[in-house]
Structure 1
Amino acid sequence: MKLSPAKEANRISQILDVFHLTHGEDRYPVDVAKLALDCADLFQFTDPITEVEAADIKGFEGGLFKTGLDRWTMLYNNTLSSPGRIRFTQAHELGHYILHRALRASFECTSDDMLEWSEQEKGIEGEADKFASYLLMPLHDFRTQVTDTITLDMLGHCAERYGVSLTAATLQWLSYTEEKAILILSRDGFMDWAWSSDPAHKSGAFFATRRKTVAIPEKSLAANAAIRHERLGATIAATTWFPHADAATPLREMKLSTEQYDSTLSLLILPRSAEVWAPRELSRRG
């Protein structure tokens, strides 16, 4: 039977909720390494993870390997940029253990396997990412943290609470929000990737970065080198990013520049009533 990443992560979260309520310890961030070592006892599995070890291997993010007949070893790259990235990698590998260990004896993952939570397009890697996001940032708690106008500061608070990156926290918000919002990572004037909430995608607000090279609009905050950060958001014309939007439609653009990776993280939020489809697409949909 195919297991649901969200349901399996939520099952563990419920156990952690009860444990921390009983013992009075900090609930977040999740100690994934300890959880991985305890997981078999929790669920009476006969093939436990017995080792969680660091490994400095170029191009390697993390992995899960069967050692012997009934034991597993989890590896993670200890040179990753932040504790949050390491935690997400560990949770991703734990997802492989919970969901996929009957399928194969080894899982070796790269950075391309992380932070792109499409189960349909990415198969087991997308499922492991989805498991990790729900384990580290359970929606029942996440929703209580996001109660006002979305800003990068608010999402940064979530990232700190759950011990994950700002990107991971924002993607989790995008996974359930009713806002028409788009997260974009760009370098040298071009998008590395872009991720839209479901309402944004349905309104035409998305960028097909897998199929073609997409440039950052010249008049956007993202392209303005004089503005390093805009955490609260500046209101600009939606046509700056989406040429087919109504000329009167506004858009709130947020921006965070990172010197370490020479990249820019942008969050765009459109009004809930906005539609930005090109005319030919509207006629097809009609």
Structure 2
Amino acid sequence: MQPTLTIDRCELADTAQPAKLAELLFSQISNQLENPVPINIEACAAACGILEIKELETTGFEGGLIQDDTKTNGFILVNQTSQTFRKRFTIAHELGHFLNLRHVAKPGQTQLMCTKEDMSLREKGRNSVSDMEKEANEFASHLLMPKSFLATHRLIRQTPSLQNIIDLQNLCQVSKESAARRLTELHGDHVAIIFSKNGRFIYSVRSEDFPYINLKKDQQIFSKSLTKEFSGSIGDISDQEETDAFLWLDDKDARNWTIWEEVLLQQNGYRMTLLLGEVDEE
């Protein structure tokens, strides 16, 4: 049975900042529920004015929002073929569009349709559409993994590890990629996450004070790295080992940093690598 929530939309109307908007919404949810996480995103959407969440028979779009001119009510569309974690993020993403008063469709239209590329967590160029999509992603991330809830949680207070990311994924019912990004945002340590496939670099996310990862998209990851050398079964995690900083950083940074490396084996040749850094005092 889904919990009944009451959301006061007036308390959300004074900001268009996605992170603040999500925290204000979570504050109302946590005041009503003893265990607010994982967020019941369907009940949350309904309490905000979403009349129905409909599964979409399409391969072209990941989600969509149909709303009236006043943003009083709306319908959320979700790709029916997506996995549960993706559907949850899509609903939160579209709810972010709905609650943000600046997110409106093109003149003469009542709907916003979002492709997988629109909802990609990777950085995009700057234009009005990509800005809205980035803000909706930010809202979704902050709502599903709220800072006020996680700030004192053991997953954030412990030394960062890939197991922390998996535990955060399971706690908040999000994807590993989303959990990895949120961990780098909330953790105080120097941490970076590398995404690769078949030994080639895809992209990375870093905490603000972690140095630049000196790899380009599709570049081969160095063979002496733990990421290339570690073998096992899908789901296996390596030990966290000290690695050669020159394999990951440019020469100037590598001279000043000690780096530890940890690897998770995933399906279809994908690997997630956690790098933990420490500035050499000398």
Q: Which TM bucket (shorter chain)?
A: 0.7 to 0.9
Count residues in correspondence. 256
Which of residues 272, 278, 281 is equivalent to 1:265? 272
The Cα offsets for residues 59-115 of structure 1, whole Å up to 9 and x where unpaired, read as: 42111123798642101112213x222211111111111115652132222223335
Tell me whether 116-125 or 220-229 shows the greater mean CA deviation: 116-125
Matching of residues 132-171 of structure 1 within 5 Å:
132-145=140-153, 146-171=156-181
The Cα offsets for residues 222-256 of structure 1, whole Å up to 9 and x where unpaired, read as: 22262553355222121121241445843111211
Structure 1 length-normalised TM: 0.79
Determine if the alignment matches structure 1 residue 34 to structure 2 residue 43. Answer: yes
Matching of residues 114-129 of structure 1 within 5 Å:
114=119, 116=121, 121=126, 122-129=130-137
Identity within the alignment, %: 25
Which of residues 9, 12, 16 is equivalent to 2:29? 16
Determine if the alignment matches structure 1 residue 109 to structure 2 residue 122. Answer: no
Q: Which amino acid aligns with 1:239?
A: F
Matching of residues 87-102 of structure 1 within 5 Å:
87-100=88-101
Determine if the alignment matches structure 1 residue 219 to structure 2 residue 228. Answer: no
Q: Which amino acid aligns with 1:17?
A: S
Q: Secondary structure of 1:144's match?
A: coil
Distance verdict in 2 for CA 1:54–1:216, change over 3 Å: same
Structure 2 length-normalised TM: 0.80
Match of 1:282 in 2: none
Ranges in structure 1 where 5+ consecutive residues have no aligned partner? 41-48, 276-286
Does the CA contact (< 8 Å) of 1:117 and 1:129 recur in 2? Answer: no
Does the CA contact (< 8 Å) of 2:230 and 2:238 recur in 1? Answer: no
The structural deviation recorded for 1:178 is: 3.1
Ranges in structure 2 where 5+ consecutive residues have no aligned partner? 1-13
Matching of residues 235-274 of structure 1 within 5 Å:
235-244=242-251, 245-246=253-254, 249-259=257-267, 261-273=268-280
Q: Secondary structure of 1:97's match?
A: helix
The Cα offsets for residues 19-50 of structure 1, whole Å up to 9 and x where unpaired, read as: 014xxxx311111112111113xxxxxxxx21
Q: Secondary structure of 1:130's match?
A: helix
Distance verdict in 2 for CA 1:50–1:207, change over 3 Å: farther
Q: Which amino acid aligns with 2:269?
A: D
